[in-house]
Amino acid sequence: MASHRKSRPTGPRVAGIRTPALATAALTSVALLSQTANATPSDDRPTLEEVEKKVDDLYRQAGSATEKYNAAKEKTSKQRKKVDGLLDDVAQRTQKLNDAREELGSFASAQYRTGAAVPETATLLLADSPQDYFDQNQLMDRLTGRQKSAVDDYVTQQSETMKKRREATEGLETLTESQNDLKTAKSTVQKKLATARELLSELTAEEKARLAAIEKKKQEEAERKAAELAKQQAAQEEAERKRREEAAQQESGSGSSGTSDGTGSSGSSGSSTPGASTGTKAEKAIAFARAQIGKPYVWGATGPGSYDCSGLTQAAWKAAGVTLPRVTYDQVNAGTTVSVSQAQPGDLVFFYDDISHVGLYIGDGMMIHAPKPGAYVREESIFYDGESSIYSVVRPA
């Protein structure tokens, strides 16, 4: 009878240890488990620096998409007004066309009633006298002339109405395209922000603390560069002041302190006069922007409760009586470009190659801006994202 007992594997067994082959496998498994236990849980995750860069890039892309959204929104608004005007025009012209059609109908009825279709010889026989015949033909001549004018008016109204209808149709098509662009830009912003929030939500408390420390270090570096720019600008202003004083002294041709002081004072007053209006406007723009500090960034917002970056700068300069375009792409061309070292309070500072962000310069290397979703309007160094991020500085007025 065959045995039902399973055969044991060949090979020695000492002190309860399995065969060398199994022992090796077991030891290998233990080693792997030990390595897994000692490994950090973020081995398969991006580093904190990579997360920070990814989040910054997403916010920047969201900012760029926001400006595209703003541009599409403005275009949609203008196109809607244009289409509404065209439709109103079509309605008015249609009414005129109907009036012209009714007038033609009345002339046709008048011709029928007066017997215009009757031959002239028969009309003469029907007339009571030669005078009646003359009066009747004179009436028909007048009716024919007025009818011709009515026909011409009808044809003109019909042509204009058809033209306006075509324009309205084309306008509606353009409006639809603008609305689609608006939806696309809005969707892009929402997706970028959602991805950024998701990345941030996956960070541990320790990682968030480290990320905050990195941001603080960046902020300190930005403030250091801002202080350097402030010193540089102060030195330039002092040099310019001395140059003006020397020029005033040379112009006066007198070394007496009294004349020099008088001329210097006059020269200083004269040099400030041309920029007095500009300075006042810049001060008003800055005062407005400063009053918005603490209000939330909301993409597409133009105030008064919230702003995006270009919405804030537009509103600030509007408070100073200067009209700026809505989006950064247009604001960057709404003034005179100057160097960073020549920046003056009230100037607009634009960022990144795609010109997707803007802030209002307030002096000493600082600006007021609406940074990004989740943040609030605040004062910050213009070097907040590195010197290389500055695209240009523009003086609106």
Phi first, then psi, for residue 79 (nearest 5°) are -65, -35
Question: How far is residue 368's CA from residue 289's CA, in Å, rounded to a whole number?
Answer: 7
CA distances from residue 273 to 98, 279, 283, 337, 355 in whole angstroms, order as listed: 64, 10, 15, 22, 33
Report the SS3 class of residue 302: strand
Nearest to 384 by CA among 164, 127, 56, 21: 56
Q: Active-site residue 57, yes or no?
A: no
SS3 content of the chain, % helix, strand, coil (to 5): 65, 10, 25
Catalytic residue among 93, 192, 369, 372: 369
To 5 degrees, how large is the angle CA 165–CA 171–CA 172? Answer: 90
Q: Are 289 and 348 in contact (CB under 8 A)?
A: no
> Please, which residues have CB within 8 angstroms of residue 227's CB and are 6 or more apart in sequence?
364, 365
Q: Active-site residue 42, yes or no?
A: no
Catalytic residue among 150, 309, 316, 382: 309
Q: Are 393 and 347 in contact (CB under 8 A)?
A: yes
Q: Active-site residue 4, yes or no?
A: no
Residue type, 98: N
End-to-end CA distance of the chain: 110
Place of tokens 């007038």: 103
Q: H helices of 253-363, where? A: 257-272, 276-291, 309-319, 328-331
> Please, which residues have CB within 8 angstroms of residue 66's CB and are 6 or more apart in sequence?
185, 189, 299, 300, 308, 356
Catalytic residue among 357, 366, 370, 372: 357
Active site residues: 309, 357, 369
